[in-house]
Amino acid sequence: MGFDHRRTVTHRLAQAAHAYRVRAGSRLARIDLHSGQENLLKALDENDGQSMGDLAATLGVQPPTVTKMISRLAAQDYVERRASNGDARQSRVHLTERGRRAIALIDKVWKRIEKDALAGIDDKDRKRIRKLLRQIERNLSVRLVTADPTDDEPDEAEGETVSG
């Protein structure tokens, strides 16, 4: 029998992440936002007046992605660009009044999704899940992908062998 990816932790993680994105997308659409935009608004709520580069770094995305997001959010009056005090060539992104009001709605959406996702899971297991997910994130963030995607060492625990 071949490798059954559906039985792996990473497959379950991917499926859970997909279910989260679908649920979040549906709930965010009710407040006129798309998935990802809420993270940008929350980043500005924590530190208003960031540069595009700072926002890209904070969100872990490429600068052109932030540029598109800012353009869309500005068109909806959630954010505005202002020239930087120190360098008029650089702009800073600020929340508008509508953007500030959206923060409470975003928090409500996130709390609801958290409640739905963790229904039936006790506090001890919730804490353990958070810890394990942080470790998975660290593990996946540290290791760089090699040029050859199959260039990993065989998993001895799975009994994988290479025949030549």
**Residue 41 CB neighbour total at 10 angstroms:** 21
| Stretch (H or E) spanning 92 | strand 91-95
> pLDDT, tens digit, for every residue of 142-156?
755 555 566 655 554
5 domain-assigned: no
CATH code, domain carrying 36: 1.10.10.10
Residue with tokens 């290479």: 162
Whether residue 157 is contained in a domain is answered as no
| 113 assigned to some structural domain | yes
Tens digit of pLDDT per residue, the chain (164 long)? Answer: 688 888 899 999 999 999 999 999 999 999 999 999 999 999 999 999 999 999 999 999 999 999 999 999 999 999 999 988 877 778 899 999 999 999 999 999 999 999 999 999 999 999 999 999 999 999 998 755 555 566 655 554 444 444 44
Q: Is residue 138 part of a domain?
A: yes
Residue 87 maps to a domain: yes
Asked whether residue 40 is assigned to any structural domain, the reply reads: yes
What is the domain count for the chain? 1
Q: How far is CA 133 from CA 15, 16, 118, 157, in A?
A: 14, 12, 14, 22
162 within some domain: no
Residue 129 lies in a domain: yes
Spatial separation of the C-alpha atoms in residues 155 and 150, rounded to whole Å = 12
**Which residue range is the domain that position 83 belongs to?**
10-142
Cα of 138 vs its chain's centroid, Å = 14
